[in-house]
Amino acid sequence: MNNWPAKWRRIRALTLKETRQVLRDPSSIAIGIVFPLMMILLFGYGLSLDVSRVSVAVVDEDASTDSAALVGAFRLSPYFRVTVADSMAEAKRMLDRKVDGVLSIPSDFTRRWHLGEAEVQILVNGMDANEARIMQAYAQGPIAQWSAARAGSDALISAGPVIVTDRMWFNENNNSHYFLVPGLIVLVMTIIGAFLTAMVVAREWERGTLEALFVTPVRAGEFLVSKLLPYFGLGMIGFLLCLTAGQFLFHVPLRGSLFLLCLASMIYLMVALGIGLLISTLVKSQFLASQLAMLLTFLPAMMLSGFLYDLRSMPAFIQGITYALPARYAVALMQTLYLAGNVGSVVWLNLGVLAAMATVLMVLTRLATRKQLS
């Protein structure tokens, strides 16, 4: 009974059937292809945690060469777009809508600078606290640059102020795409793997197609393999979309090996598929399965994986929970491979955990799938 040619033929036939269903079902194409594309574009262009080209109004009441040099430093900075305002009153009016901040150089600027106590005023629109804070920090750059230049050219002032230079490791430009793209891969895999497959077995239970299918030579294992293959393919397409977008759209550097990145994605995809199939096999209702998949996989992958929010800033209790979430390991793995490179200790530990999870889930799903009705 257990002859392999017949077994392969059954698996092939079921996989073909499943693939046809995927291709003909607009909703699985929507989730499998359109959704990753949307996520890439949304996260890539819509959601950026950076502030760039901040428009700032400059009120130069000093109108000296020194103040003009400071304004020039702001003009040269890639983070600011400078508009000149004639008076403070006008600048404040602009703050309402046109500009995000105001740089005010008082009339006694040059005089006081020679005394070593020069001050400039920066007004920031605090409506978006995050942006305001970032802008405040950015403003230090041109000012420091200017004061360094002045210090160098003016031998009279020997002891200039100490300049702190930050260097951001792994993400030198502090570009949020750098950590969003690796996380996006995890999110897309979660949706395709868990959310889509959560419905596939439940759908067969609901439509009664399993009862006829089970009274054939098909074995439960063959049935499961045929469910995995097409969605694995779909998941890898999603992965490739993210990879391509990361390389060519957002120019995220890939410092680790491509091979390891692919391997990590495949293993995480198996985990996601395992969760989806297990849910589907156990609940036997499409609606319930999709709700469960949403709650157990997608939302945690978004909130608790380190994709958007730093895990270390969470309460210890929540941090504890994240250790049970496969997405946590996957995000750590992807971010490391992308931004740090093949850091052996991190990569192998996370890969190992994911592989173990995938194995356990597959075994559980196989045990839960019985050719029985009750």
Partner 1 sequence: MTTPASSPALRLDAVCKSFCRETGESVLALDNISFSVGKGELAALVGPDGAGKTTLLRLLTGLMKSDRGIVSVLEIDAAKDPQAIQSRVAYMPQKFGLYDDLTVQENLDLYADLHGITAEEKRRQFADLMEMTGLDPFQKRLAGKLSGGMKQKLGLACTLVRTPELLLLDEPTVGVDPLSRRELWEIIRRLVKDGMTVLMSSSFLDEAEGCERVLVLNEGKELAEGPPAEVRNMALGRTFLAQPPQGMKARDFQAQLLAEPDVIDAVPEGGQVRLVSQARSGGSQSTTLARTTARATPARFEDGFMVLLDQAGGAKQTYTEAVQPEKPLGDSRHESVVEVRNLVRHFGKFVAVDHVSFSVKRGEIFGLLGPNGAGKTTTFRMLCGLLPASEGTLTIAGTDVRRNRASARQHLGYVAQKFSLYGQLTVGENLDFFARAYGLGGEKKRERIAWAISQFKLEPFILLPSAQLPGGYKQRLAMAAALLHRPEILFLDEPTSGADPFARREFWQRITSLAAHGVTVIVTTHLMAEAEYCDRAAILDNGKVLAQGTPAELRAHASGPAGHSATMEDAFIAIVLEGRGKPAAKPGAAQS
Binding site for partner 1 (CB under 8 A): 1, 6, 9-10, 12-14, 16-17, 20-21, 24-25, 204, 207-219, 371-374
CB of 134 to partner 1, least distance (A): 50
Q: Please, which residue, 26 or 315, has the CB nearer to partner 1?
A: 26
Dist. CA 332–CA 327, nearest whole Å? 8
Q: Please, which residue, 265 or 369, has the CB nearer to partner 1?
A: 369
CB of 174 to partner 1, least distance (A): 48
Pairing of strands 54-60, 80-84: parallel
Q: Please, which residue, 6 or 318, has the CB nearer to partner 1?
A: 6
CB of 306 to partner 1, least distance (A): 39
CB of 256 to partner 1, least distance (A): 41
Burial of 2 (0-12, 13-18, 19+ CB in 10 A): exposed
CB atoms within 10 A of CB 213: 14
Q: Please, which residue, 111 or 219, has the CB nearer to partner 1?
A: 219
Per-residue DSSP letter, 161: P
Which positions ≥6 away from 177 have C-beta within 8 Å? 44, 48, 246, 250, 251, 252
CB of 216 to partner 1, least distance (A): 4
Query: Nearest Cα to 56, choosing from 104, 103, 90?
Result: 103
Q: Please, which residue, 210 or 337, has the CB nearer to partner 1?
A: 210
Query: Nearest Cα to 134, choosing from 210, 67, 231, 49?
Result: 49
CB of 361 to partner 1, least distance (A): 25
Dist. CA 44–CA 128, nearest whole Å? 20
Dist. CA 131–CA 127, nearest whole Å? 9
Q: At 166, which amino acid appears?
A: D
Per-residue DSSP letter, 195: I
Q: Please, which residue, 4 or 259, has the CB nearer to partner 1?
A: 4
